[in-house]
Every structure is written in structure tokens, then in C-alpha cells.
Amino acid sequence: MINTDKKIIECVPNFSEGRNLDIIDKIASSVKSTQNVKLLNVEPDRDYNRTVITFAGEPSCVKEAAFKAISTASELIDMSRQKGEHPRIGATDVCPIIPVTNATMEECVKLANELGRDVGEKLGIPVYLYEDAARSEERRNLENIRRGEYEGLEQKLRDWVPDYGPAEYNDKVRKSGATVIGARFFLIAYNVNLSFDDIRVANAIAKSVRESSFVIKDETGEKKRVPGMLKYVKAIGVELREYNISQVSMNLTNYKETPIHTAFETVKTQAREYGMEVTGSEIIGLVPKDALIEAGAFYAGNKSEEALIEAAIKNLGLSQLNKFEPGKKIIENLL
């Protein structure tokens, strides 16, 4: 991905603030102030009340930048007053560490543990480890840890002892919430826009397409559990009142197995069964170049790299809500 002999890892923390630009800027500035770390992207969302910040660099420097960002967020974000459309459990909701070049997943797991220990011990924030860093199978999945969200954190701390940090719901934890830290493969945060605002339809489509199973009634009225349509896909329905639309908000946890265009076309087919159209989509944060090239090839066949990226942007409707700029959204272009 990058012509260097150095170890490069990426970190993509999600913060529970998408409206106060002063707070967002201070969190981003704590990352920018760290040597040998490059701030790649800052993407706030008012409806979700959430900001995704992406940065990359040498492992020890990325760990330092992540700690500073989590610390700043815990000082500036009061979770007891925070509301938004996106599920969350803390001021820094989730902080994944991703190998980019010359780094292994094992090294990222080690780094996640070191960061988790520092956040728990030095900042007094409960930390749960997830994905490849998880210490038990039930904690691999972010949704399992986040279930009950911030409002259910007091009970969560009783039922699930954190991997690091306090297990008591004190005044500090009431303000900061908990943080989920882990190591994982590159994830694409991908939202598909539906033609009008109907959260029930968005939720129904999300339930159908995501990998996790769901319950239906068969012809005899008996309930049975069936798997979702797309492997490596997590999905929820979200309403965006500002635009009078709803979204199927997805995390593509392995875009090589379930590509972007597969997720888009599947949601489009499901939407039509409810009399809805898909009007476009958006990528939150950054995307690997090969993911767009593959989507472009699906729609346009064998063309130049630039033409394939343009075809992906056009056919996926990536510039409907926010202009998609390859120079700012494709990770290789930034690194």
C-alpha cells in the first residue's frame, strides 16, 4: 500500500460528538500534535452526533495519539447529556487498530492491550477489548459489548467486568462512559440512502441484509431463526430527518468477501420490495482504493484505474449527500 520499510498502522476512533466543532477540533489537534503520525480524515455527522477520525503512523506513535485523543474526549464530552442516532457506549465509543504495511495483526493486538491498559489505569475509563483483541468469543462482536448502550452501562459493568479500568459506575464513568478498543481488518463504514424517511423499512432491510440471524414465522406460524443475506456485514436502520430520508447504515468488515457494490445492489433489491428506491450512498471515513476499483469494474468493465473510480462514484451515488473527493477519501492517496 505504501512504499516504505517502516511499520505503519491505522487507527480509526469514533467519538460521540458530531455537532460541536470546537470539541471536534481539539480532539483532532491532540492527534496532529503527535510526532510521526499523520491525521488523514476528520468526518463529523450531526445526525449521528458522531465523528470518525482516521490517522496512521508508526505503532508507538499511533498508540500515543490514540491515548491523547481518548483523554481529550473524556474531558470535553459529557455522556450524561449526549444524544444521537448512532449506538454508543462512551465519549470514545470505539477505537480500532488496523495493520496497514509491514505490521501484523498480532502486533496490533498487543498494541490494543497496551492502549487499553493505559486508558483504564491512567484515565479511569472502563475498557472492553473486541475483534481480534477479544479475550472471549462473546466479546469479539462490538454489538454484544455495546448492547444497552451508555444508558445501560451501569448494569453492563456488573454483568461484564471490563478488561481494563474500573468496574464501578462512579462520577468519572458517568461522564466518560466506556471505551471499546481492539484490532481488526480494514472496515468500510457504508450507508445506503433510501428515497424517503421510514425507519421501519430501513430496519427491516438492515435485518435482512446483515450477517447475524433473525427470527421469522414459517407457514405454520412457528418461529425460526434464519441467517442474513450478506456475510461480514453489520447493519442498522437510521433516519436522517434533515434530509427527509432513511439509511441502511452498514459496516463491511471484510470488503474483499462482501464488496461495496454487492452491499449496495442487495439493499437496492430489498428496497424495491417495499416500494422504495435507493438514491445513493456514502462512505464514512476512508476507503481502500481496490474496493472502489472492484466496484467500478462491476459497473463499467475493464477501464483505466481513474475511470473505474469515477464509475464507482457515479453508480454508487457517492456524491449525493456529500461530495466524494478521491484525494481526501482514498487512503492510499492520503498516505
Angle between helices 260-273 and 305-315 (to 10 degrees): 20
3-class DSSP state of 95? strand
Q: What is the DSSP string of 255-290?
A: TTTS-HHHHHHHHHHHHHHTT--EEEEEEES-B-HH
Q: Is 86 a known active-site residue?
A: yes
Angle between helices 105-123 and 59-76 (to 10 degrees): 40
Integer Cα distance of 115 and 110 in angstroms = 9
CB atoms within 10 A of CB 245: 21
Catalytic residue from among 19, 26, 68, 86: 86
Integer Cα distance of 268 and 231 in angstroms = 17
- Placement of cell 424517503 in the chain: 196
Integer Cα distance of 33 and 30 in angstroms = 5
Q: Which residues are catalytic?
A: 86
